[in-house]
Every structure is written in C-alpha cells, then in structure tokens.
Structure 1
Amino acid sequence: MTEQALLLVNLGSPASTEVADVRRYLNQFLMDPYVVDLPWPLRRLLVSMILIKRPEQSAHAYASIWWPEGSPLVVLSQRLTDAVRPYWTEGPVELAMRYGEPSIEQSLVKLAKQGIKQVTFAPLYPQFADSTTTTAITEARRVIREKRLDLTLSILQPFYDQPEYLDALVDSVRPHLTQASDHLLLSFHGLPERHLHKTDPTGSHCLKTTDCCQRAEGAVLASCYRAQCLQSAAAFAERAGLAAGQWSVSFQSRLGRAKWIEPYTEAHLEELAAQGVKKLLVMCPAFVADCIETLEEIGDRGREQFIAAGGEELQLIPCMNTHDSWVQALVTLCRRAPQAL
C-alpha cells in the first residue's frame, strides 16, 4: 500500500527575537504578493520603509511572549504534529512553515527523499484567505514544479464550517465559559477590504451591502474570509449555547492606512468597556495555535487597552493548540482532503 504523508502547515515565526532575524522574517512575509498585494516595485518600496523601524518594535513584542523552547507558534505546531503522528497511520507526519523554518520546501524535499509519492497538504487555517491558504498551496506547487518532485498533493480545504472543527473548538473553550464573565469576544485576524474584493468571483457582491456576508453562499462564500469567520462564530455560539447578547465578533491586527474589515478589535474593546462590560473573555478562532497575535496583541496589549477604557479583567482563552478533540478532528479532516495536482 502506498504511503500517504501528512504535512501540517502554519504561518511561521522569526528564528529568534534578534532584530536581524525579525527583519529577515518580516521581509519574507511582507514581500509575499498574497500578503501585500501591490506591484513588485511598490511592494519593495513599502516593505523597505516598514523594515526601517518595524523589526525593532516587533522584536520587542516577540521577546515578551517567547518561550525557552522558542517561538510559541512553532513549539505548539510541533507539539500538534507530534500529537497527530500516532493517529495518522497512513505514513509520516511532518511540519512546515510558510515563512521561516522548517520551510515548505525543506519538508517536501525531505518527504520526496524518503520515497513518498503522495502528500496530504494541510494548511492550518479554518477560514480561507489568499494571504494564508492560497500562498501556502502556491508555494507547495512551486516547490514540486521547480524541484521536479514526484509528489501528488491532497489539499485540506478550509474547515470553518466542518462539525469536527466546531465541536473541537467548543470542547476546548467550554471550561472557560463556566467562569463568571460579562461577555465573550471572538476576535479574528483582519484583512484589508481589497483582499475580499479581489476574491469575490462575481465582482459585485463583496461589501456591497451591510448584510452581504450573511447572504453569501456558493462560490462567494467559498472565497469570502469575512463571511466564513461570521459563519464560524455563529455556529460556535449555537453549539456553545450562547445567547445573542453574550458574544460578539471583531477583527484584529490592522496594519497601515488601508481600510480593513470591521469591526476593529481595538475599537470594539473600548466599546465593550463603555457599555459596562467588566470581565471579558476573548478567543481567537482564526488561529489553531497561540502566537504573537493572540499572546501579545490580545493577551498583553488588548488587556491593557480594555482596562484603560474602564474594564476590569480580560482573559485570553487559549487556542485549541494540542487539545485532544482538535487532534482527533484534524486527523479526520485530513483524511477527507481531496486530491489535487
């Protein structure tokens, strides 16, 4: 029987908190045309300007959440890989990062050298976006083409609406929901609005009305990050038994002057405090592993902002990380991944 390897793929992290390593990472990340979708000359100019001050600022942020073993995202992703390995009996299980190491190229070449012919390629992003899902798949295809690897991919599709993912999310969060709190905020990673317009196959649906995401279906829903986030949130709330007023959604990590999808997490934290919310729970369902966006942006800066605005306590709920339900769900989802060239 032919072995089917499993390659789990996450975003990545700097090799260390040294400014030089952070600069190298940010350059690779921001020069990706799926992340900063500008023509190369403009992208190069903009990124070069960002790299003047941003690496030092980001290095400080990374240092505040860095673990003795390394980057939390990489460490947790490796732990997930190790946890999945005993259940994936079809073949070897490896980890790759879109940016930094271990790279997609390194991992695919390693598998090919082992004689593997078939790989289930699993981007660990519940919701679809060009800047996460598409760029990872594109890089894998580039490596296979340019390295002339005899590999066939089965690709895990976005799983924002899959029962296994939603049930695992509820299982991982449920113990925190038993604590006394005033509100639950589901903070998803944000995207520039232009990214949504670009992936709208009709060219006439995205952000044309205030309820466009609620009406998204078919091909529009399949490529709309915001609509998928809202569907994930609503399905989670229903499974968790939350009433409408007990939870809300926002989008974090806004960068630059471009219009990003709303509501912004920064603004929403202040609104919740102004509405009298004192004890706030925050979860980040766009991430399956804790990282700088959860630990530092929400757990540190978000907490400070919420308290400064009049709140009393902000508790960050951990991502699913290596929760047993998530490990089992991921294996099930990967076994259903359709084959692609």
Structure 2
Amino acid sequence: MASSPFGKIGVLLINLGTPDTPETPDVRKYLREFLMDKRVIDIPALQRYFLINGIIAPFRAPKSAKVYKELWDERGSPLLYYGHDLRDLVQQELGDQYIVVLGMRYQSPSIKSALEELRDQQVERIIVLPLYPQYASASTGTSHDKVMEVVKDWWVVPSISFISNFCDDPLFIKAFAELGRKHLEARKYDHVVFSYHGIPERHVLKGSQKNYCKLGSCCNTYHKLNRYCYRAQCFETSRLLAKELGLTEEQYTVSFQSRLGKDPWLKPYTDEILKELPAKGFKNVLAYSPAFVADCLETTIEVGQEFKEMFEQAGGEHWQLVESLNTHPLWVEAVKQMILRN
C-alpha cells in the first residue's frame, strides 16, 4: 500500500470495558458507568439514576466482585489484556502507515484517551472498529455515540469511518469454526449451543426498519431490511458457523443469556433451554459464545462454569465452552482485512 502524502491512518478498536480491579468499589464504579448509559437501560434518566444508584449497583457490586475475582488471573482482566494483545498484533500486521489504539466504552483505557492519542499523532483519518460482531444499540451504537461525543469538541475533526458489524465476515466465521472443530474432533458431541448476550425485545423493535421485525421467522434470512437487527445477525452468525462446522439445523440451538429485569428479552433463554437438553438425549454439549471475541465474565464464568453446573444438575454429562477468539491468527487477519477494506 502506498504511503499517504499527508499522514497516517488511525485505527480505534473498542470493547465494552472492565473494572480496574475486582474489588467491590471498582466493580461498583464500573457498573454505575455501564448501566447509567441510556442505550443500555433505556428508561427516563431520573428513573434510571435511582434504579442504578439506589438498587442495582449497591447490591450487585459485592456479588459481581466475587465473580470477577474468579475471572482475574496474573495478567488481570482477560478482556483487557487480550485487547492490548490484539492491538499490538494488528499494529504489527498493518505496519507503520497505521496507528492502532484500544479504547474501552466504560472505564480504562477510555475512548477519549485513545482518540486523543490519535489526534496527537495527527492522523489523516480514523477507522473505528467496535469489537462486537453483531450490531446492537447497547454495544456498537453506544460506542459510536461516545466517539462522536468526544470529537464534537475538536476544532479539527478528521474523516472518520465506522465499522458497524461483522457478523458474517468470512474470516471471523472461519476462526470461530476452527476453535470449535478442535473440540468436535477430540470428542463426540450430541448438540451445539450458540449462546449470545441477550437484549430486551424492545431494543430490537425500536431499531426495526419499517416495522419489519416481528421477533419470529423474519430472522430466517439475513438481508437489507434486517441487517442491523441484532437477533437476525445472531441467527446469521449461527447459520454460517453451523455450515462451516457441517452441522444440520437439528444439531444446534440458538439462545440468549445474561438477561436483567422483568421485561421480555430475546428468547429462548440459554439457562432454560440447557436444562431441557439432557431429557432430549443431548448429554454432551459444545457451547459457543459468538457475541464475544475475547474471554470475559459472560463467557468464562457464565457459560463455562455456571451453565456447566446447571447442565450437569439437569442430567447432562459434559458441557464444553469453546474459547473466545482472543488472539487467534485468523481473527487477527480478520481485523486487519476489515480495516484495509475501510
């Protein structure tokens, strides 16, 4: 690639974020910033303030801190250090014409600090890649929102392009399939579960193009009317992964985890369907979390440990989590190619 006569190209990789430490005060701080986001909990601001600060953060933080301590290792939070590793590997692959930085939507390193680093380097333009395969307003949307909130105060705003999803990216699919194939070759599995982070049904309906979405068979195909429907993207990722793995429709289930509150979230719920699998004869299950590209609380702890215990209590024999992409070479190449295309 020819060098630009003006300057380098900035690349901002974004992920959700993590507490600075697994101690209760830091977890509480993280939860408050995360859950106060109007795109995450979309209720009136005053109501959201009292709900988060009066109920959720005070009571949930000590419980979450215990779980974060299970997740933490000698390098710290996997979501953070795999983010740094990915940044470094992508930088190495792209070369000196690019400057790759990492920003977290919540906590550190902040999106603001990452963008300021690119501004200080006087980049010619910026490519923003939130590391969420499927677009949702509460993940990709809020990341884009934060970038625009930061740059609106800059006197000079460079050209900025956003990558909004990559649910069907061929290299992303191949990387995840390769990880799962290792498990499938080592052991016979009766069924595969693709478990995605859930969102409230109203989030899908609010983003529906021309009221197309009915939370039903409308997600059986993926096209221009539902290309930003989170549910449709999850089903498309699953279909492509299943095809790559050689699975039939009867050999896998798509479900959703991590719901919060009493409002209806996307169904079926993973914690409910996994209890039904042993009775159907599915005693050995391989579990994917294809909404996450790095190991984190929702993969390692929720799917890898908590769901495993539920499954075994229901009569299951073996529940195996497929690890996240982390720094898999095909994933690094996928990120590189997405950036080059943009």
1:241 matched to 2:246? The reply is: yes
1:276 to 267, 274, 281: 281
1:297 matched to 2:305? The reply is: no
In the TM superposition, 1:195-206 aligns within 5 A as 195-203=203-211, 205-206=212-213
Cα RMSD, aligned residues only: 1.3
Alignment length (residue pairs): 334
2-structure distance, mates of 1:330, 1:114: 22
Instruction: Look up the match of 1:57.
Output: 63
Deviation at 1:316, TM superposition (A): 0.8
- TM value normalised by structure 2: 0.94
Residue type of the partner of 2:201? E
2-structure distance, mates of 1:148, 1:137: 19
Residue type of the partner of 1:122? L
2-structure distance, mates of 1:148, 1:174: 50
Gaps of 5+ in 2: none
1-structure distance, mates of 2:164, 2:136: 11
Deviation track 1:190-233 (CA, whole Å, cap 9, x = no partner) reads 10001001101212x2226x312125531x31220001100110
1:155 matched to 2:177? The reply is: no
Instruction: Look up the match of 2:29.
Output: 24
Instruction: Look up the match of 2:218.
Output: 212
1-structure distance, mates of 2:249, 2:129: 33
2:198 to 190, 205, 208: 190
2-structure distance, mates of 1:233, 1:200: 21
- 1:96–1:102 CA contact under 8 A, matched in 2: yes
2-structure distance, mates of 1:127, 1:91: 25
Residue type of the partner of 1:185? V
In the TM superposition, 1:82-97 aligns within 5 A as 82-89=88-95, 90-97=97-104
- 1:171–1:325 CA contact under 8 A, matched in 2: no
1:146 matched to 2:158? The reply is: no
2:189 to 166, 181, 198: 181
Deviation track 1:251-290 (CA, whole Å, cap 9, x = no partner) reads 0111111100000000011011221222111010011111
3-state DSSP class of the match of 2:94? Answer: coil
- 2:91–2:100 CA contact under 8 A, matched in 1: yes
2-structure distance, mates of 1:94, 1:127: 21
1:121 to 94, 111, 128: 128
Deviation at 1:120, TM superposition (A): 1.1
Instruction: Look up the match of 2:314.
Output: 309
Residue type of the partner of 2:87? T
Deviation track 1:29-62 (CA, whole Å, cap 9, x = no partner) reads 0000000001101111211211121001111111
- 2:28–2:58 CA contact under 8 A, matched in 1: no
Quote the sequence identity (%). 39
Deviation at 1:149, TM superposition (A): 5.0
Deviation at 1:184, TM superposition (A): 1.0
3-state DSSP class of the match of 1:232? Answer: helix
- 1:117–1:150 CA contact under 8 A, matched in 2: no
Residue type of the partner of 1:201? Q
Instruction: Look up the match of 1:69.
Output: 75
- 1:144–1:151 CA contact under 8 A, matched in 2: no
1-structure distance, mates of 2:149, 2:106: 15
Residue type of the partner of 1:105? K
Instruction: Look up the match of 2:87.
Output: 81
Deviation at 1:185, TM superposition (A): 0.7
Residue type of the partner of 2:202? R
> 1:215–1:316: structure 2 CA closer, same or farther, 3 Å change rule?
closer
- 1:109–1:149 CA contact under 8 A, matched in 2: no
- 2:222–2:236 CA contact under 8 A, matched in 1: no
- 1:28–1:99 CA contact under 8 A, matched in 2: yes
Instruction: Look up the match of 2:337.
Output: 332
2-structure distance, mates of 1:148, 1:291: 37
In the TM superposition, 1:125-136 aligns within 5 A as 125-136=132-143
1-structure distance, mates of 2:85, 2:118: 19
- 2:16–2:106 CA contact under 8 A, matched in 1: yes
Residue type of the partner of 2:257? Q
